[in-house]
Amino acid sequence: VPHNISSITQSNFSSACPSAFWKFLEEYFRSKYVIFEFKNYKDVITQKEIYTTEKYLYAKALRCVAIIVSCNGSDENAKKAIKGTLRENGKLILNLSNRDLSNMLEYELNGNLASEYLYNVLDEMLIELEK
């Protein structure tokens, strides 16, 4: 049975030393809050889940960023929807798979911040974004 858990979390922007990733979100995406959505589906997520999550993003409420955690990542149409949402509406949606979570743990175990991994995911996405 698939489960869907959503939460809105205030990011750690106001701490004494926030990481580059969280600073970047605050400065360039004008977000004080990040929506986290957890999709426990056996299959990859589709563009339907991306567009549903996009509806939760609202600039006037300082939440223009969502992170979707899905077991197996996203299909090609979902990836296109993520890029289109960013390009057309300025809303950032990152999709993390179980493999990404494992990589984040490895970052931490090697003395780095897991948010550095997130920053690299974001950086790669922005570099690949076409007009």
Task: Compute the distance between CA of residue 130 and CA of residue 35 in angstroms, rounded to an integer.
Answer: 25
Helix (H) or strand (E) holding 35: strand 33-39
The pLDDT tens digits of the residues spanning 61-99 come to 999 999 999 999 999 999 999 999 999 999 999 999 999
What are the tens digits of pLDDT across the range 19-33? 889 999 999 999 999
Edge-to-edge strand list for the sheet holding 92-96: 4-10, 33-39, 65-70, 92-96
Specify the fold of 4-128: 3.40.1340
- 110-131 residue pLDDT tens: 999 999 999 999 999 999 988 6
Measured from the Cβ of residue 57, the count of other Cβ atoms closer than 10 Å reads: 22
> At residue 131, what is the residue type?
K
Residue of 123, 68, 56 lying closest to 97 (CA atoms): 68
Cα separation, 117 vs 61, whole angstroms? 27
Domain boundaries, the chain: 4-128
